């Protein structure tokens, strides 16, 4: 459920893939901040460039024959809106949090079974798919040496749902657990569906069999926290967090840097790196890369020809990056005029020539999106009929709308994340097409990223751009249900259609994989036809530069914790 700056999509996404929704820069100007359904073959399979692969996966050695311990990996990032796992909703935060904190299960690299045990060594499912029992690993500890028990998980899950925590996503990610909704509503402080069987056994009971439930537990909302750490430090606990991931937070200076250090109490093989340094001060990523200030960068259009030239020194660092499972879009608040009119929204969709923009503006570094679920992802259907470019139909639909008269049409404000300067090529070109093809003028407003996210959650925005929605796990539920079910806390546009609700609710408990996917496809077609969004781009294969001394850095289509396995050959 991560939103990332689309402009960071080649940067942030590379950091998460180099992390994860926006348009503060165009894809050519990218800077880095950030089931019963058949799993996608590329969903979690890491792509490691041959030049980056180590020849030995054994323990660190001092003779250069295998991975070596030590050193700091440097990357460009931006300030995360939060370091509290239970509050994470964006890719900038997510990319750091998953390296520091962890939960019962995690996304892994096996495409046939993408969910791996993490702090839980195993789990079993009973009562027709409603009861999940997790066995924790023996001798688990937090980074400070405190033991990790089933009671810590119960407290953490209930803390995530508590109104005082103010999580905007706990209901969506944990709401299947019996009793969680009562906590969210402020009517209880504990959930009957969370049982501590013994110190190493946690039992979760959900309200109905749901194929995607285990996938939801990979998201930070379900991560375990140290109760004493949180309660003793209060609101400032994230300044000195006690955690369970492969790294710990060593330093955070806002606007300057974040430093992660190896967690020597990590349950698995400890990280090779001494530190990971996230540069938050900004800068031109390509220049910083060439000056050896950072070890990885995305490649924008301006530098693409140069780095692909085999005579160039940088060419040897070039790495192919698989597309993210993400869709960037323009969002509409259906509860605010003029976006309460389907004809008006459809007119906006039909007036944008996405293929022309992809060809002439972005040199095909983006792929036009006419649906919601990205190609190659579970549930993708090539049969979805999108609202393609048709300027005459767009004019006809505008004329049929309640807002055909420009004199009485409400003022339209399109909000994008940013702090001044250009709002991004995509936003500017789309606004220009609306102006030229329909005579619709809009005002583009920029707000700082954390404020943008807050306003989005509170339904304050009339229309918004600069976002990319990236899948959190390989299941279509993370797109169609989470985003468009009328009572979803993440349905920021307030879209509501009873038939869509019926489809996604049916899909929640459908055990036949084919029928389940068909429910999502039927719902997606309605969403697209009614123009709940203006889908813009799907991810495409891209390129990055990685320093030759960086080994085993993985690129994947979903964001997974990866820095534990990175090592430096220098």
Q: Is residue 414 part of a domain?
A: yes
Q: Is residue 240 part of a domain?
A: no
8 Å CB contact between 77 and 32: yes
Asked whether residue 570 falls in the same domain as residue 520, the answer is no
> What CATH number is associated with residue 129?
3.90.76.10
Asked whether residue 449 falls in the same domain as residue 347, the answer is yes
Q: Is residue 237 part of a domain?
A: no
Count of residues in the chain: 570
Average pLDDT of the chain to the nearest whole number: 89
Q: Is residue 234 part of a domain?
A: no
Q: What is the number of other CB atoms lying within 10 angstroms of the CB of residue 511? A: 12
What pLDDT was estimated at residue 370? 97
The enclosing H or E element of 2 equals strand 2-5
Asked whether residue 280 falls in the same domain as residue 312, the answer is yes
Helix (H, G, I), strand (E, B) or coil at 521: helix
Q: Is residue 12 part of a domain?
A: yes
What pLDDT was estimated at residue 548? 97
> What CATH number is associated with residue 554?
3.40.190.10
What pLDDT was estimated at residue 63? 55
Asked whether residue 146 falls in the same domain as residue 254, the answer is no
Torsion of CA 16, 546, 33, 219, to 10 degrees: 10
Domain count, the chain: 3
Burial class (CB in 10 A: 0-12, 13-18, 19+), 31: buried
What pairing do the DSSP bridges indicate for beta strands 194-198 and 533-538?
unpaired
Regions of the chain where pLDDT drops below 70? 1-65, 110-112
Q: Is residue 233 part of a domain?
A: no
Asked whether residue 340 falls in the same domain as residue 254, the answer is no
Q: How is 164-191 classified by DSSP, letter by letter?
A: TT--SSHHHHHTTBTTHHHHHTTS-SS-
Q: Is residue 462 part of a domain?
A: yes
Q: Give the distance from CA 86 to its chain's centroid.
A: 14
Asked whether residue 277 falls in the same domain as residue 367, the answer is no
What pLDDT was estimated at residue 2? 52
Asked whether residue 114 falls in the same domain as residue 210, the answer is yes
Asked whether residue 95 falls in the same domain as residue 118, the answer is no
Asked whether residue 302 falls in the same domain as residue 313, the answer is yes
What pLDDT was estimated at residue 363? 81
Asked whether residue 303 falls in the same domain as residue 410, the answer is no
Q: What is the number of other CB atoms lying within 10 angstroms of the CB of residue 570? A: 10
pTM of the model: 0.86
Asked whether residue 350 falls in the same domain as residue 335, the answer is yes
As a whole number of angstroms, the longest Cα–Cα distance in the chain is: 76
Task: Give every CB contact of residue 296 below 8 A, 6+ residues apart in sequence.
Answer: 14, 15, 18, 32, 75, 289, 544, 545, 546, 547, 550, 553
Q: Is residue 356 part of a domain?
A: yes
Q: Give the distance from CA 365 to its chain's centroid.
A: 20
What pLDDT was estimated at residue 544? 96
Asked whether residue 454 falls in the same domain as residue 397, the answer is yes
Helix (H, G, I), strand (E, B) or coil at 411: coil
Helix (H, G, I), strand (E, B) or coil at 222: helix
- Whole domain around residue 169: which residue ranges? 102-228
Of 197, 65, 68, 60, the C-alpha closest to 126 is 197
> What CATH number is associated with residue 344?
3.10.105.10
């Amino acid at each position: 459920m991560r939103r990332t700056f689309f402009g960071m999509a080649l940067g942030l996404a590379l950091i998460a893939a180099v992390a994860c929704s926006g348009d503060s820069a165009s894809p050519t100007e990218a800077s880095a901040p950030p089931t019963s359904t058949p799993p996608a073959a590329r969903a979690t399979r890491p792509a490691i460039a041959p030049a980056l692969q180590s020849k030995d996966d054994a323990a660190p050695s001092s003779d250069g024959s295998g991975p070596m311990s030590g050193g700091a990996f440097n990357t460009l990032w931006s300030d995360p809106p939060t370091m509290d796992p239970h509050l994470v909703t964006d890719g900038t935060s997510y990319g750091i949090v998953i390296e520091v904190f962890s939960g019962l299960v995690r996304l892994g690299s096996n495409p046939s079974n993408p969910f791996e045990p993490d702090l839980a060594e195993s789990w079993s499912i009973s009562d027709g798919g409603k009861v999940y029992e997790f066995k924790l690993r023996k001798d688990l500890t937090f980074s400070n040496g405190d033991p990790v028990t089933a009671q810590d998980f119960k407290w953490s899950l209930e803390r995530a749902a508590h109104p005082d925590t103010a999580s905007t996503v706990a209901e969506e990610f944990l709401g299947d657990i019996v009793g969680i909704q009562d906590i969210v509503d402020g009517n209880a402080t504990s959930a009957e569906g969370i049982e501590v069987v013994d110190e190493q056994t946690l039992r979760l009971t959900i309200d109905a069999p749901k194929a995607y439930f285990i996938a939801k537990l990979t998201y930070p909302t379900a991560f375990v926290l140290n109760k004493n750490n949180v309660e003793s430090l209060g609101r400032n606990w994230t300044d000195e967090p006690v955690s369970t991931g492969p790294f710990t937070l060593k330093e955070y200076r806002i606007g300057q840097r974040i430093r992660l250090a190896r967690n020597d109490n990590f349950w698995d093989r400890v990280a090779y790196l001494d530190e990971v340094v996230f540069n938050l001060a900004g800068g031109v990523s390509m220049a910083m890369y060439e000056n050896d200030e950072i070890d990885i960068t995305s490649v924008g259009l301006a530098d693409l020809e140069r780095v692909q030239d085999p005579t160039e020194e940088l060419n040897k660092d070039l790495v192919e990056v698989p597309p993210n499972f993400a869709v960037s879009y323009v969002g509409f608040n259906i509860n605010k005029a003029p976006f309460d009119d389907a004809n008006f929204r459809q007119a906006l969709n039909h007036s944008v020539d996405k293929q022309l923009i992809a060809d002439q503006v972005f040199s095909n570094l983006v792929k036009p999106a006419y649906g919601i679920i990205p190609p190659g992802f579970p549930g993708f259907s090539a049969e979805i009929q999108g609202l393609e470019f048709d300027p005459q139909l767009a004019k006809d639909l505008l004329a049929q709308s309640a807002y055909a008269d420009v004199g009485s049409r409400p003022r339209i404000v399109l909000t994008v994340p940013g702090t001044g300067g250009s709002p991004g090529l995509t936003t500017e070109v789309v606004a220009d097409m609306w102006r030229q093809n329909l005579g619709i003028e809009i005002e583009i407003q920029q707000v700082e990223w954390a404020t943008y996210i807050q306003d989005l959650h509170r339904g304050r925005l009339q229309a918004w751009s600069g976002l990319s929605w990236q899948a959190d796990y390989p299941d279509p539920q993370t797109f169609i249900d989470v985003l468009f079910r009328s009572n979803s806390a993440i349905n920021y546009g307030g879209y509501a259609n009873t038939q869509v609700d019926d489809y996604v609710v049916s899909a929640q408990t459908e055990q036949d994989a084919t029928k389940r996917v068909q429910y999502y496809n039927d719902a997606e077609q309605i969403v697209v036809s009614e123009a709940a969004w203006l889908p813009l781009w799907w991810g495409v294969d891209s390129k990055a530069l990685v320093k030759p001394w960086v080994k085993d850095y993985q690129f994947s289509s979903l964001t997974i914790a990866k820095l534990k396995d990175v090592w430096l050959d220098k």
